[in-house]
Amino acid sequence: MKIVLAALLSFLCVTGFAQSNGPKRKLIWFDEFNYTGLPDQRKWDYETGFARNKEPQYYTRERLENARVADGKLIIQAIKESYKGANYTSASLITLGKKHFRYGRVEVRAKVTKGIGAWPAIWMLGVNRQEVKWPFCGEIDILEYVGKDSTQVYGTTHYTDKDDVYHYQTEKPVVGKPWEDYHVYTINWDKKKIEFYYDDKCYFTYDLSKADHEDYNPFRRKFYLLLNMALGREGTLGGRLDDRILPLTYEVDYVRVYK
């Protein structure tokens, strides 16, 4: 079924007739995960090592134990194991250098995992992050889910104002039990705003003008996409990890980007 759907999506992308819950949109990039093995190297690269926030997991590259495609979905798994000086491994897939986006609709159907210290995410960073550093590159968190707040999902923007002062704006609606099933996490992004959705519910609208500088706004530039399964620690949003919950499995059914 997913093979047929992927073929249909390819046709819609070429013809420009794709639609998603509203006006006609052109599908410009997608992964339906209708294959088996490692994630498609034409679409995905990896972060490796200890990436940020002094998180305890080591992100691995091209390792089936941590990131694989099977049964029509991407499976990202965090494992308790000794690996290159770390006690935990996981994966962070990125489109940096593969595909970059500015404006449009980013839609991901995913199933988060329950547990104290679980921290799966769907998010975006400015492609100039290495050049200007964070938070000047901007960050769009389409989804952050943390096990300590298990009935909520987070949508957040990180940015600097015209005086180069760091800010973030976030909303975290109570949605019930998101780990029990797949849900669609979406942003609609244009020159003026970013709308955040949980399934069909728009719960947060961010005004891009808040990040205006004299001649620069990160949210009017290109971003890349990240899918990762982080683990929390004391003092971070993810919270202290209870490693008795490991392994943790984060599943993604599809990623679709529309213009």
Both tokens of 21, joined, read 């819950």
Rounded distance between C-alpha atoms, residue 237 and residue 248, angstroms = 17
Nearest CA-CA partner of 187 in 215, 231, 219: 219
Q: Are 192 and 208 in contact (CB under 8 A)?
A: yes
Catalytic pick from 32, 107, 144, 251?
A: 144
Residue whose tokens read 């919950």? 245
Question: Does residue 131 carry a catalytic annotation?
Answer: no
Nearest CA-CA partner of 45 in 110, 111, 91, 103: 91
Catalytic pick from 47, 55, 107, 139?
A: 139
R_g over Cα of the chain: 18
Main-chain dihedrals φ then ψ at residue 57, nearest 5 degrees? -85, 145
The one-letter code for the residue type at 247 is P
Question: Does residue 251 carry a catalytic annotation?
Answer: no
Positions marked active-site: 139, 144
